[in-house]
């Protein structure tokens, strides 16, 4: 089994996928589990995922990689699976109540009063972003990026290659999948599969800033 240092060095941004290799269903189920159980601020879960595992599905997602973003089209078409990460466009009181009810069903509250405490705490933070900071959309997209990081590390732990794709056209994808009407907007994609032997990036050494520059360790 890999340790986290091995996983960090194994993971890289895949530039070419082998179109003949597919992620086994049981492994992709693990990735889907990570999508569901990724952390989010106050368990807000302000996301939705469009998943393509077929040729036709990947072609639909590739509509967001045309024109300026055409350099990403082969990654989408040749990958085994592609996930479009979407963020909610609003977080209202009805959604906060929906979260609370799901948590109750899942047994999150050992005592009845804990339910109201959770609701008040979450509402305070959400309203801070809705009304005070006025950055609710940006805040929700931050939660989506937490999820993306979880997927990238988890995929590497499974020996699955991946690349995050911000070079997409959200407007085209919003229209293709009717996302805005359902209260979501496209944010980014992750393409997953297995590297092609000709992928130049697989053999290049990683380059990162030194530990001395990025760490301050307190005593």
Catalytic sites, residue numbers: 15, 75, 166
Element at 163 (helix H, strand E): strand 161-165
Query: Do residues 28 and 53 touch, judged by C-beta distance below 8 A?
Result: yes
Beta bridge partners of 83: 51, 190
- The Cα–Cα gap between 150 and 164 comes to 12
- The Cα–Cα gap between 143 and 130 comes to 15
- Nearest to residue 153, comparing CAs of 15, 5, 19? 5
Pairing, β 161-165 against β 184-193: antiparallel
H-assigned helices in 18-135: 25-37, 55-62, 73-78, 93-105, 112-127
């Amino acid at each position: 089994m890999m340790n986290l240092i091995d996983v960090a060095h194994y993971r890289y941004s895949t530039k070419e996928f082998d179109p003949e290799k597919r992620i086994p269903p049981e492994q992709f189920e693990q990735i889907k589990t990570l999508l569901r159980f990724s952390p989010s601020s106050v368990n807000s879960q302000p996301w939705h995922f469009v998943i393509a595992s077929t040729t036709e599905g990947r072609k639909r997602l590739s509509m967001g990689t045309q024109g300026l973003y055409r350099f990403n089209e082969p990654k989408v078409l040749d990958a085994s699976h592609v996930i479009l990460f979407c963020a909610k466009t609003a977080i209202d009181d009805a959604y906060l109540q929906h979260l609370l009810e799901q948590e109750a069903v899942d047994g999150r509250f050992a005592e009845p009063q804990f339910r109201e405490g959770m609701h008040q705490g979450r509402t305070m933070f959400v309203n801070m972003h809705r009304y005070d900071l006025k950055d609710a959309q940006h805040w929700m997209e931050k939660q989506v990026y937490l999820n993306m990081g979880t997927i990238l590390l988890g995929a590497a732990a499974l020996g699955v290659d991946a690349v995050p794709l911000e070079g997409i056209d959200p407007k085209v994808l919003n229209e293709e999948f009717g996302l805005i009407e359902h209260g979501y907007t496209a944010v980014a994609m992750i393409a997953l599969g297995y590297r092609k032997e000709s992928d130049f990036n697989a053999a290049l050494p990683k380059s990162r800033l030194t530990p001395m520059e990025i760490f301050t360790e307190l005593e």
